[in-house]
Amino acid sequence: MTPAGSLLVATDLRKAYGPTPALDGAHFSIHAGEVVAVMGPSGSGKSTLLHCLAGIVTPDSGSIRYRGHELTTLSDAGRSALRRTEFGFVFQFGQLVPELTCVENVALPLRLAGTGRRAAEATALEWLARLEVDDVRDQRPGEVSGGQGQRVAVARSLVTGPRVLFADEPTGALDSYNGERVMELLTEAARSTNAAVVLVTHEARVAAYSDREVVVRDGKSRDMERIA
């Protein structure tokens, strides 16, 4: 049963790549301000679920409703607009632009949306400070540590004020200490803006930062009860 007032709801999602089913009737829901960890073994369908929820991949069947509107019937341009304005993304390896400084990387989504350079970089600096990496503002991604680079990536994902943040194995390339710090800062920053976080991970220590866990196995999903 889908909780009332959900921000993003997926029902009976099915997606196959050739003869191989990636999703086989998966369900998902998330509220504003909620952090939900999507867990499962490699090949279980958890990344496909994230890509469908984010409008990157269109499911073969099923429904995805975002703020009451059906996502699967949107045009490519409509889904792209959502990803620019309503959704934020953090990936395992950050995917920062190597030629840009850290502050320019964080400001980039704002610049692409038409914000002037000075205003965009001022907002970017605020987010770098919140993620405790404003000291690397003028360095390029290749000149900072993995932990610093991932915090810069988190700042970039939040700079536009997204309603939903999609984080795909955001600590997978980090050591335990940096992974813990990134998760602390990511969840703290997202909750401060009431953003929902869809967190794909296979690590229990990362999932511990969530409010709720959804396990995906063989393309099917199951909500797990969180024991206090």
**Measured CA angle at 65 (ends 62, 69), to 5 deg:** 125
Q: Which pairing describes strands 61-66 and 8-17: parallel, antiparallel, or unpaired? A: antiparallel
Eight-class DSSP state of 143? G
Q: What H or E segment, with its residue span, contains residue 39?
A: strand 35-39
Residue 109: how many CA atoms within 13 Å on its side-chain side?
26
Eight-class DSSP state of 212? E
Q: What percent of the chain has pLDDT over 70?
A: 96
pLDDT band at 227 (very low <50, low <70, confident <90, very high): very low
pLDDT band at 92 (very low <50, low <70, confident <90, very high): confident
pLDDT at 137: 96
Find the mean pLDDT for residues 18-30: 94
pLDDT tens by residue, 125-178: 999 999 999 999 999 999 999 999 999 999 999 999 999 999 999 998 889 999
51's tokens: 């890509």
d(CA 39, CA 37): 6
d(CA 106, CA 124): 5
Q: Which residues pair with 65 in a beta bridge?
A: 9, 70
pLDDT tens by residue, 182-206: 999 999 999 999 999 999 998 899 9
pLDDT band at 1 (very low <50, low <70, confident <90, very high): very low
| Count of beta carbons in the 10 Å neighbourhood of residue 192 | 11
d(CA 189, CA 184): 9
The answer to whether residues 161 and 193 touch, using CB atoms and an 8 Å cutoff, is: yes
pLDDT at 4: 57
Find the mean pLDDT for residues 74-88: 91
DSSP character string of 76-105: HHHHHHHHHHTEEEE-TT----TTS-HHHH
pLDDT tens by residue, 42-60: 889 999 999 999 999 999 9
d(CA 65, CA 62): 10
The answer to whether residues 33 and 59 touch, using CB atoms and an 8 Å cutoff, is: no
